[in-house]
Structure 1
Amino acid sequence: LESAKTLMLDSPFDYAKQALLCVPRYLPEPHQPAMRQALVDVSMRLVKASNGRCFLLFTSHAAMQDVAAALQEKITNPILVQGSTSKQALLTQYLADPEAVLLGTGAFWEGVDVRGDDLVCVLIDKLPFAAPDDPLLQARLEDCKKNGGNPFGSIQIPQAVITLKQGAGRLIRDPEDVGVLVICDNRLVTKPYAQTFLGSLPPMKRTRDLSEVESFLVNTQQRQSDVKKTKS
């Protein structure tokens, strides 16, 4: 469009003040069996610090179900799991219970708008690379190879970057929102392509210390409680 009028607007969000990004230290590699227990441990710490008000987002139904089953035995917060009822019914239940935690896969990575203190923490289990056995993806990768391209760099990474941005976008939905994004994947630190993913995310303050995340969430809860008391 050679003669189009264009306008670029700054984001209304101050991510550096409103949000914190954490890639926790000392996690197993995503493919290792110990990773499931690590996800449970991290989730428990986040739920306790925020008293619920969390979305736990997963790249597979198996991981989601395993973590959900473990949390049911370890915490008293209501656990809402994708697949137990409709997406809208789950959101309604989540909003109705101030201590609820919602676990979801792809359906909750996009098209969900929860604002204010109803959502202060989003956990993502790992980088959302598409399943390699997907027939459509296999065909696209093969076509890229035949044309001399780099399938991982030109198809798989860009696709995963877009999906990660969508999942991360559930956290800050309003200029007054405050919250934490936790991504449990060491590859964001160890792999050469990590900067492609990190560069696609909003400019949040970063940490690798879960204790800092817990302090951030506890302080957020306290501030929100004080605001409610003042208004009442």
Structure 2
Amino acid sequence: MIDKTFESISHAVADIHDGATVMIGGFGNAGMPAALIDALIEQGARELTIVNNNAGNGDTGLAALLAAGRVRKIICSFPRQADSHHFDALYRAGKIELELTPQGNLAERIRAAGAGIGGFFTPTGFGTLLAAGKETREINGRMYVLESPIYADFALIKALHGDRWGNLVYRKTARNFGPIMAMAAKVAIAQVQKVVALGELDPEAIITPGIFVQRVVQEAV
């Protein structure tokens, strides 16, 4: 019997190792798997490479992971805002590496990994420092930059409901990066509001099929 559910969030993240590349879903706080991040902080893995849309807000979630000194490098599109003080302090002190990627490129690089695409050409970033050291090519009279896929060892994502096979549905814009991150990681771990019985999810509403999800854990009530 296929059953991908885990009894505890701490158990679900127990094997995330030092030096792992970890994708974390969310657009700011929308869709951020806060419980999984808290469990990762408690678990203690270090020297992580984090892939996320931004670099944390305030003092919780991803920002707390940064503040705990667990992140060696972050790949994101929006590292600084008014309340990203933990990232700002670490970056200014030379304690964290940043790979800045425009948001569309970030999403497509993640999607490319999940789709088995070896790379893609995009006009975004051409003629800027973001294209330094990358292959460029003229296509139909326009200049493009070659971008590479982003793979991960683990993806931490948040969904509304999931079943024991790993099928997931999301709540509105909390869907954001979750589906493509699940496809791009060796192990996708989904934090869900509720684990439902098989057959309860409308097949037409399932966004992430269970083939892309290895672990499902329900949030504490």
TM (norm. structure 1) is 0.36
Task: Say which structure is richer in helix.
Answer: 1
**RCO (CA 8 Å, sep 6+): is it higher in 1 or 2?**
1
Larger Cα-atom Rg? 1
